[in-house]
Homo-oligomer: A and B are copies of this chain.
């Protein structure tokens, strides 16, 4: 079941100090004024600072001046083509994530995007939410520090980069889906996670299996990782809610 319609009023309890980050700057390179406006509004309502440029040249200038955290780039631009802009930016800042907007025909082969150095792309009829999700993912990806990639606790150790899991020092083979599920649970340890949340976060945007599928994957994880699968200590079920992973 679930996110939220009406935030509860009067939640005047102890406000927890959340880590305040400066608004990430996003450079939008787009020539169509209508799309410019829409993109600006889209990202700004999400808390990003937006800078808009209409052509490749000013995009490059803006890029060097403001050092954005991510770039949203339309491939078809006047003056300097979007592809050149992409290459140029990647040459100067390889780590800077670039999400490309393109017509489906523009990227008939995805190889092209790789050459360009783009991190992700969305094709023509795209939903704003999807674009947002990709930009966020790109940001998250580059921002990921290589420290929390190995986690160990109890008798289990995980290396997220190598995709290796060991239990009592013995390698355990997890399938892709199992691993993703496991990773999400570990990275959200101690929190109650609903099946819907798992479906959304792990299974992703296109696939929507039933909630029982989640049960089965939890089952597998228990069988492979729990000392006593019949009384799980790590993969706990929260009746009527979902699951919770504890170390």
Contact = CB atoms under 8 A, between A and B. Distances in A.
Interface of A: 1-22, 24-25, 32, 34-35, 37-39, 41-42, 45-47, 69-70, 94-95, 101, 103-104, 107-115, 117-121, 123-130, 132-134, 136-152, 161-163, 175-177, 184, 186-197, 199-201, 206, 208, 210-211, 238-242, 244
Nearest to A16: B1
A49 to B, nearest CB: 10
Given A2-B3, A125-B108, A197-B17, A38 B114 contact: yes
B3 A201 contact: yes
Copies of this polypeptide in the complex: 2
A94 B124 CA distance: 23
Given A11-B187, A16-B196, 18 more contacts: A3-B140, A3-B143, A4-B145, A5-B139, A7-B145, A10-B187, A14-B150, A15-B148, A16-B146, A17-B197, A35-B114, A42-B114, A45-B95, A113-B125, A120-B129, A121-B127, A136-B200, A176-B238
A109 B103 CA distance: 9
